[in-house]
Amino acid sequence: MRIDLHTHSRVSDGTDAPGDLVRAAKAQGLDVVALTDHDTAAGWPEAAEVAAETGIELVRGMEISTEHQGHSVHLLAYLPDPAHPPLAAELERVLAGRSDRLPQMVARLNDLGIALTVEDVVAVSGDAAASGRPHVADALVRLGVVADRTEAFDRYLAWGRPAYLSRYAAPLADAVRAVTEAGGVSVIAHPWGRSGRERPDADDLAMLSRAGLSGLEVDHQDHAPRTRARLRALARELGLVVTGASDYHGTGKVGHPLGVNTTDPEEYARLLDRAARAAEAARTVRGLVPPGVVRA
Ligand code: AMP
Ligand code: ZN
Ligand code: FE
Ligand code: FE
């Protein structure tokens, strides 16, 4: 059984339509795929329809942009009811924060002599729920200013670079609680990935586990073998589920092909078990309708 629990479609900053992503996952021989676009469930209906046709199990998810003690943390949320008001409000704030800073980001680039317009960025964003830095990067590629997304971040868009602007991120512990209340489960994406720091640290993870966190994405391309070993041990100690995934973005991110990392079927079963319990509580206590997996 091959299980990939972290992918992005065109609805955020990937390059495949949600349905095409599901077909690609099936063609790669995956048995289970999760669609986890940034801060939105907008790709779910199309992905679910194609999963049912194609015969692959689909986990409806999202990757929420959160912050903890000033550090950006990505939180994977699986199977929550996205209409639960506290969750919906956080997602809306993040998406609005991402889109609202776009004119100022473009103005910064204009100041550097780059003739980019907001319309250029919106044109490459297509059906994305919001225009973020990856879309600005794509627009810079299209304009011939940089060769690829990486160069755009390195020169202009990364923290500390001239066109960097911060935006709203949901407080991490609040996001964990909102996901649980919405009948879903949460897993910290690439916990010690991009930052190169071991943050959130072991104490933070213990606190989050008490707040309802279900797992850690241990097997991710941004983690070296040593980091994976340490996170795996920590997850075991805290009783957290261990996941592995590609963080596939189509052609938007190199080195992240579908299925490059996968989740152990037993760990997946534990995650679904926790989700079933959260969903039952959300249905009975709050009258919510968590989506459940689409079975192959
Ligand atoms: P935003 O939410 O608009 O600030 O964009 C954040 C997204 O940009 C992240 O989720 C990543 O997918 C991408 N990203 C952040 N830093 C980099 C980087 N250094 N190189 C490439 N992509 C990046
Ligand atoms: Zn992304
Ligand atoms: Fe991420
Ligand atoms: Fe991601």
48-106 pLDDT, tens per residue? 999 999 999 999 999 999 999 999 999 999 999 999 999 999 999 999 999 999 999 99
Q: What is the pTM of this model?
A: 0.97
Ligand approaching nearest to the C-alpha of 105: 1
CA–CA–CA angle 179, 30, 132 (5° rounding) = 50
Nearest CA to ligand 1 atom 11: 134
132 lines ligand 1 (CB under 6 A): yes
Question: What is the distance between the alpha carbons of residues 144 and 40, in angstroms, rounded to a whole number?
Answer: 30
Residue 50, pLDDT score: 98
- Give the pLDDT confidence of 130-177 residue by residue, as tens digits: 999 999 999 999 999 999 999 999 999 999 999 999 999 999 999 999
**pLDDT over 70 percentage in the chain:** 100
111 C-alpha to center of ligand 3: Å?
30
Whole-number average pLDDT of the chain? 97
Q: Give the number of the atom of ligand 1 that is nearest the alpha carbon of residue 132.
A: 3
Nearest CA to ligand 1 atom 3: 132
